[in-house]
């Protein structure tokens, strides 16, 4: 039984508490929030959970094994560091930290203390992404040409982050998980329509090895919600519509068949247009699966796939995106990623 303290009971915190409560191997021992009305809700739903306004009270409890940090990103580092120092494993909301330096410091500290870090990249635990990973691993798509994601909606303007830090972590962590290529360069363009100092839409292009290209379209001002990703491969192509209640993933036996280099220039390209296949996608709750995996990693002393390094890679891309926009859309080389 792993005993958890949860720091932060705002938008996402209740999901973490509910998810942990549903696991046999986990128990929520304490929750902290600076907002007493949030704590009031905790007491109503979970009368046996200890409530604190100061998260440091959680860290003092020696019976607590792990701490979930579900607060604004600007506070992740300080809380996570103290939790590690107190000997707690940490589960940190995405994005991991505000800077790569912070992420690196936490990784070092966890390593020194032999503690686990898991970054909450929930999407990679969904049935859809697990199926996509399986399809790519089996080389069903062949060499991948591009990953093109549209992630737009009429979004809540957040005070502390821009649309990139809100929406792009999903795609950055998914690409990191399913594609087997390192990002080599990134360029981004965005707009801050309301002079807030925070972009509300952005277009991000990522260059990977071997001519693979990624593109993200993130936008807080779209009248319709779109969560659509095209992945084009040499052998087959995949469309993932995450909002579809059914048939989220479709694999098309379509593409071009290059006879020879010469032939392309001369228009002697064959087009294939075959069947479409939509594999069944599991519907179990991703967050619950992720939390269970975290408990397993702790108990079996295994390194999670979404560990501090995975969190660092995402933070690095977020930082480079911000830099590229600040420099007027400059292409930025990515050093030693991975």
Q: Footprint of a copy of itself on this chain (CB under 8 A)?
A: 47, 145-146, 148, 150, 152, 154, 156-159, 187, 189, 191, 193-197, 201, 203, 205, 211, 213, 215, 217, 219, 221-225, 230, 232, 237-239, 243, 245-247, 250, 252-256, 258, 261, 264-267, 269, 271, 273-280, 328-329, 331
- CA neighbours closer than 13 Å in the CB half-sphere of residue 290: 27
Nearer to a copy of itself, 175 or 310 (CB): 175
Q: How many CB atoms lie within 10 A of CB 85?
A: 12
Strand partners, 57: none
Nearer to a copy of itself, 62 or 328 (CB): 328
Nearer to a copy of itself, 2 or 202 (CB): 202
Rounded-to-10 torsion of CA 166, 94, 126, 310: 120
Least separation, in Å, of the C-beta of 178 and a copy of itself?
17
Nearer to a copy of itself, 78 or 258 (CB): 258
CA proximity to 278, closest of 239, 245, 243: 239
CB 147 within 8 A of CB 132: no
Least separation, in Å, of the C-beta of 196 and a copy of itself?
5
Least separation, in Å, of the C-beta of 210 and a copy of itself?
10
Least separation, in Å, of the C-beta of 168 and a copy of itself?
15
Strand partners, 46: none
What the block records as the tokens of 326 is 């600040």
The 3-class secondary structure across 206-260, one letter per residue, is EEEHHHCEEEEEEECEEEEEEEEEEEEECCCEEEEECCCCCCCEEEEEEEEEECC
Least separation, in Å, of the C-beta of 144 and a copy of itself?
10
Radius of gyration (C-alpha) of the chain in whole angstroms: 21
Nearer to a copy of itself, 84 or 201 (CB): 201
Least separation, in Å, of the C-beta of 65 and a copy of itself?
23
Nearer to a copy of itself, 111 or 277 (CB): 277
């Amino acid at each position: 039984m792993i005993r958890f303290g949860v720091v932060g009971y705002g938008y996402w915190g209740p999901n973490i508490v509910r998810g942990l409560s549903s696991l046999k191997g986990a128990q929520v021992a304490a929750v902290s929030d600076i907002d007493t009305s949030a704590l009031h809700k905790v007491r109503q739903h979970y009368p046996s959970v200890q409530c604190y306004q100061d998260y440091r009270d959680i860290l003092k409890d020696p019976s607590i094994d792990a701490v979930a940090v579900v607060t604004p990103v600007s506070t992740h580092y300080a809380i996570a560091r103290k939790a590690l120092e107190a000997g707690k494993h940490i589960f940190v909301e995405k994005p991991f930290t505000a800077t790569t330096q912070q992420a690196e410091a936490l990784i070092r500290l966890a390593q020194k203390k032999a503690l686990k870090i898991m970054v909450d990249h929930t999407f990679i635990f969904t049935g859809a992404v697990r199926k996509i990973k399986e399809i790519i691993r089996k080389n069903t798509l062949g060499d991948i040409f591009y990953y093109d994601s549209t992630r737009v909606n009429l979004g809540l303007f957040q005070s502390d982050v821009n649309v990139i830090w809100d929406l792009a972590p999903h795609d950055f962590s998914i690409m990191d998980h399913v594609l087997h290529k390192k990002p080599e360069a990134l360029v981004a363009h965005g707009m801050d329509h309301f002079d807030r100092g925070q972009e509300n839409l952005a277009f991000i292009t990522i260059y990977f090895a071997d001519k693979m290209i990624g593109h993200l379209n993130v936008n807080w001002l779209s009248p319709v919600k779109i969560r659509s990703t095209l992945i084009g491969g040499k052998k087959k192509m995949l469309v993932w519509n995450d909002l579809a209640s059914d048939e989220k993933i479709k694999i098309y036996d379509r593409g071009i068949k290059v006879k020879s280099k010469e032939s392309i220039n001369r228009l002697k390209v064959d087009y294939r247009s075959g069947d479409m296949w939509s594999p069944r996608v599991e519907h179990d709750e991703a967050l619950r699966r992720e939390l269970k995996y975290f408990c397993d990693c702790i108990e079996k002393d295994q390194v999670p796939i979404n560990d501090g390094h995975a969190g660092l890679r995402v933070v690095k891309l977020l930082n480079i995106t911000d830099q590229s926009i600040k420099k007027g859309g400059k292409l930025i080389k990515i050093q030693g990623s991975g």
